[in-house]
């Protein structure tokens, strides 16, 4: 099992460009999440999908859109990148239940110039 | 609003020392608390998860405790090793509405030197 995979690992964009971050999990989890991590701030939730076909905003959704393509895949799109979106982005998945333990991907390091 | 604080922000200790990392949260209505390890440039690895009804969890040299009433958790690392050097994050899962969401602390950066 690969767990949670993310592509790309690194990306540099110019202000105003768009891109999509991809995430896939092979653990048959129902819930998936997108976080961003900035220095000294911990991880903050951008969007999450409790189950296939549903998405909800997290703490910092502005400037982002998401698509839950199927049960395995959850993508994050930046329509018009801004320098404030320079961050490390993590995808996670979990199975709702008693523990709902979240499993994380390796992250995408994004720089917006 | 739930806020999670980790103290200290950074810690440097000699190999072999026992150490304690602290995590505090402002709203005691949590479902569970999770401790993660993050190596530089890597993702998060779950270390321990404590349900709100539990007082502690142990895995090898790691022991995590939870005191919901005081809004605190500690991660105890016994006989530290250079391989323990990493950033340690705690996160709480809220109970009730928004139960799927984790609220993270900023982490404690640990360096264990030989």
Question: How many CB atoms sit inside 10 A of residue A76's CB?
Answer: 22
Residues of B in contact with A42 (CB under 8 A): 4, 89, 104-107
Question: CA of B34: which chain A residue's CA is closest?
Answer: A101
Question: What is the predicted pLDDT for the residue at B98?
Answer: 54
* Cα radius of gyration rounded to whole Å, chain B: 14
Chain B interface with A: residues with Cβ < 8 Å: 4, 9, 31-32, 34, 36, 41-46, 49, 51, 89, 91, 93, 99-102, 104-107
pLDDT tens track for A27-52:
999 999 999 999 878 899 999 998 89
Question: What is the predicted pLDDT for the residue at B96?
Answer: 60
pLDDT tens track for B31-69:
899 999 999 888 899 999 999 999 999 999 999 999 999
With b meaning 16 or more CB within 10 Å and e meaning fewer, what string describes B12-37? Answer: ebeeeeebebebbbeeeebbbbbbbb
Residues of B in contact with A98 (CB under 8 A): 51
DSSP letter string, B66-110: EETTTTEEEEEE-S--GGG-EEEEEEEEESSTTTT-EEE---EEE
Question: What is the predicted pLDDT for the residue at B29?
Answer: 87
pLDDT tens track for B61-95:
999 999 999 999 999 999 999 999 999 999 998 86
């Amino acid at each position: 099992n690969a767990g949670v995979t993310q592509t790309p690992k690194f990306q540099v964009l110019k202000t105003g460009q768009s891109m999509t971050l991809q995430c896939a999990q092979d653990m048959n989890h129902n819930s998936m999440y997108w976080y961003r991590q900035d220095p000294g701030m911990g991880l903050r939730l951008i969007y999450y999908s409790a189950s296939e076909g549903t998405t909800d905003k997290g703490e910092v959704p502005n400037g982002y859109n998401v698509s839950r393509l199927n049960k395995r895949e959850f993508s994050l799109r930046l329509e018009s990148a801004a320098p404030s979106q320079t961050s490390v982005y993590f995808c996670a998945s979990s199975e709702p239940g008693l523990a709902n333990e979240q499993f994380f991907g390796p992250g995408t390091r994004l720089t917006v110039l | 609003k739930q806020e999670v604080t980790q103290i200290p922000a950074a810690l440097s200790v000699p190999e072999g020392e026992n150490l304690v990392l602290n995590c505090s949260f402002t709203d005691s209505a949590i479902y569970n608390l999770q401790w993660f390890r993050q190596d530089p440039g890597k993702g998060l690895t779950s270390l321990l998860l404590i349900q709100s009804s539990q007082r502690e969890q142990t895995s090898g040299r790691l022991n995590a405790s939870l005191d919901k009433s005081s809004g605190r958790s500690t991660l105890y690392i016994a006989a530290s090793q250079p391989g323990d050097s990493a950033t340690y994050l705690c996160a709480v899962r809220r109970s009730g509405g928004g139960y799927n969401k984790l609220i993270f602390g900023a982490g404690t950066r640990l360096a264990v030197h030989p």
